[in-house]
Amino acid sequence: MAKLTLFDRRRRRVRSAVKARANGRPRLSVHRTGKHIYAQIIDDGDGRTLASASSLGAKGADVDAATKVGKDLAAAAKKAGVTSVVFDRGGYLFHGRVKALADAAREGGLEF
């Protein structure tokens, strides 16, 4: 088996901790690239996506774009009937764009 990168080790550690404390709540998963940021709320029990949002329509992937994605995701979650989630940051550190997305989702009404 190939040696895991630091990012992959961190992602596995975070994912196992998230699943341990989920208690049936859906998971808010974040993925970011150099150009965009994506977020989706996933029901792991059924294996389906309940709500999603991304910065694909916007220009750039800065903190402002992440804030907009967080607000859009909270609105989509509210429409889907989701109020409480567990936050899965993946292998990304909780600062900058990931933190901005999380704060905006909390302001939009999601609890985590």
pLDDT in tens, 44-64: 999 999 999 999 988 888 999
The boundaries of the domain holding residue 89 are 6-107
Residue at 66 is within a domain: yes
Residue at 71 is within a domain: yes
Residue at 60 is within a domain: yes
pLDDT of residue 76: 98
pTM of the model: 0.93
Residue at 78 is within a domain: yes
Residue 18 is part of a domain; what is its CATH number?
A: 3.30.420.100
Residue at 101 is within a domain: yes
Query: How many structural domains is the chain composed of?
Result: 1
Residue at 112 is within a domain: no
pLDDT of residue 61: 86
Q: Which stretches of 1-112 are assigned E, i.e. beta strand?
A: 27-32, 37-43, 48-54, 86-88
pLDDT of residue 58: 86
Of 27, 55, 24, the residue nearest 41 (C-alpha): 27
Spell out, as residue ranges, where the chain has pLDDT lower than 50: none
Looking at 22-82, list the stretches that DSSP marks H as alpha helix, in order from N- to C-terminal side.
63-80
Residue at 1 is within a domain: no
CB neighbours (10 Å) of residue 71? 17
